[in-house]
Amino acid sequence: MKILHIDSSVTGEKSVSRPLTKEAVAKLKAIHPDAEVVYRDLVKEPLRHYNAVLRMFGADIPNATPEQKEELETGKTILAEVQAAEVIVVGAPMYNFGIPSQLKAWIDLIAVPGVTFRYSSAGPEGLLGGRKVIVISSRGGAYGPGSPFEPADFQEKYLKTVFGFLGITDVEIIRAEGIGGGPERAAEAIAGAKKEIEKLS
């Protein structure tokens, strides 16, 4: 098994999602001792945001500068990591109702027309099927199903939509929410997420 481990929290040692993604990967490794793990920290090694060069991914760019060539090589590496992975563990805190811009930059590099999705007469078709994504979601408030703020969830819903568009329909959400409600509430949320991680197989 090949596991791709992605972290995107900017809060360092105060992060809720980072320890949980680490625990999730450790759980998977305990079940699959021979699993190979590739780790990418999108904060320590930030990616360039989507631009005209990256839009040309896979095409020959005449007179490309060294910087542009480096951008394209990074894009190819990111894509290769996803294509090689059987399980992708994504740490995705909610920032301002959505995902970190660092994580969005990563998604923009893996959503490549003709490579990870394509359009046909029948509509869009995802080309990354057969993989599993485990999203470790952390957020200060309560945005889950049935909550008053559910319509403001542009984090989990977005991730499930974009992975589904790429053909990955096996998306499991492990959530620690309400962590902004004080230490006791945060501890309960984290403990609940850890219980869900223990169920991973």
User: DSSP characters for 74-138?
Assistant: HHHHHHHHHHH-SEEEEEEE-BTTB--HHHHHHHHHH--BTTTEEEETTEEEES-TT-EEEEEEE
CA separation for the pair 155, 175 (Å, rounded): 11
How many residues are given for the chain? 201
* Contact between residue 141 and residue 185 where contact means Cβ atoms under 8 Å apart: no
What is the CATH number for 180?
3.40.50.360
**133, β-bridge pairs:** 88, 171
Number of domains in the chain: 1
Taking only the tens of pLDDT, the chain with its 201 residues reads 999 999 999 999 999 999 999 999 999 999 999 999 999 999 999 998 877 666 666 566 677 788 888 888 888 899 999 999 999 999 999 999 999 999 999 999 999 999 999 999 999 999 999 999 999 999 999 998 899 999 999 999 999 999 999 999 999 999 999 999 999 999 999 999 999 999 998
**Sign of the four-CA dihedral 133, 195, 21, 97:** positive
What is the per-residue pLDDT for 57? 64
CA distance 160 to 173: 9
21's enclosing H/E stretch is helix 17-31
Domain extent at residue 61: 2-198
CA gap 182, 124 in Å, rounded: 44
What is the tens place of the pLDDT at every residue in 39-66?
999 999 999 887 766 666 656 667 778 8
pLDDT, residue 56, reads 65
Closest CA to 201 of 29, 38, 22: 29
